[in-house]
Amino acid sequence: MRLSRSRQAELDRLGAVPFAHRGLHGGVLVENSGGAIAAAVAAGYGIELDIRLSGDGEAMVFHDDTLNRLTLDQGPVAARTAAELQALRLYVGNEVMPRLSEALAMIAGRVPLLIELKFPDRRVAGLCRAVAEALLGYDGPVGAMAFNPRAGAWFARHAPALLRGLVITESGKRGLRGRLERGAGLWWSRADFLAYDVRDLPSRFAEAARARGLPIYSWTVRSEADHARAAAHADQIIFEAPPG
């Protein structure tokens, strides 16, 4: 796979340092929170953030489809407006759910950023559009990725300058059907990089993609064994246990 010189340079910038999974969180720093973002920036790590769509079309930094685990409230994220979501408190630290625009202002291009889009169903356009709009004018290394290859296809058509990634796990998909699904997903997404489940490495599919020039970012690296596996078979890591 041959990229333009400028696109390859952006890809090199994106993968220059390890990514803190959902920011550098733990203790009083909740995943995907402003505090976790600030801690990762201060440590010089890249950041991987999860994004969901609010009921009124705002890109919000949050992993789960419901509020139950991470806030003091309950119910679907998509049932609340951005203002309603920001009126809630995360379960510790007296923090609120950031908008993507706020997270971008905090990062300000100082470290690389991976944005993982989370969809409650097969429809991708609303969240993809909200992410693309938030990124207008953003100056910094950034890539958008998702399990659903339709997200990459949307960005290829509507925001082609943005680096695109496909998130892959082979769990439960190790037969012929899984191989065909991965191949179709890679073609459909027009991905510039793959975010690969570290538990699946080494992988013939990942190695073939790597040989074609697609970097492999392995997730989620939590142990010494994960670090060793990623060092042998990936180009960068998305971690919860920092590099030693």
Residues 181, 173 contacting (CB under 8 angstroms): yes
Confirm whether 99 is domain-assigned.
yes
Residue 66 has what DSSP assignment? Answer: B
Residue 211 lies in a domain: yes
Residue 15 belongs to some domain of the structure: yes
Q: Domain of 109? A: 5-239
**What's the pLDDT at 4?**
85
Q: Does a structural domain hold residue 89?
A: yes
Question: Phi/psi of residue 220, each to 5°?
Answer: -100, 125
Residue 197 counted as domain residue: yes
**d(C-alpha 82, C-alpha 86), whole Å:** 6
Judge whether 244 lies within some domain.
no
Q: pLDDT tens digits for 56-113?
A: 999 999 999 999 999 999 999 999 999 999 999 999 988 999 999 999 999 999 999 9
Please indicate, yes or no, if residue 11 is contained in any of the structural domains: yes
Asked if the model's pLDDT at residue 1 lies above 70, the reply is no
Does the model's pTM come out above 0.95?
A: yes
Give me the CATH number covering residue 122. Answer: 3.20.20.190
Pair type for strands 46-53 and 59-61: antiparallel
Asked if the structure places residue 57 within a domain, the reply is yes
Domain count, the chain: 1
